[in-house]
Amino acid sequence: MSETAIIHNRLPVLRAERGLSRKALAEALGVNYQTVGYLERGDYNPSLELALKLAAYFDLPVEMIFSLQPFTPLSRMAASGKGD
| Cβ-based nearer residue to DNA, 44 or 63 | 44
Asked if 83 touches a copy of itself (CB under 8 A), the answer is: no
Task: Show the binding pattern over residues 17-56: x = contacts a copy of itself (CB under 8 A), - = does not.
Answer: -------------xx-------------xxxxxxxxx-xx
- Cβ neighbors of 66 (< 8 A, separation 6 or more) are 7, 8, 9, 10, 45, 46, 51
Strands 8-9 and 66-67: antiparallel
Contacting range for a copy of itself; rule: CB under 8 A; set: 12-20, 63-71, 76-84: 63-71
Using DSSP's 3-state secondary structure scheme, residue 29 falls into: helix
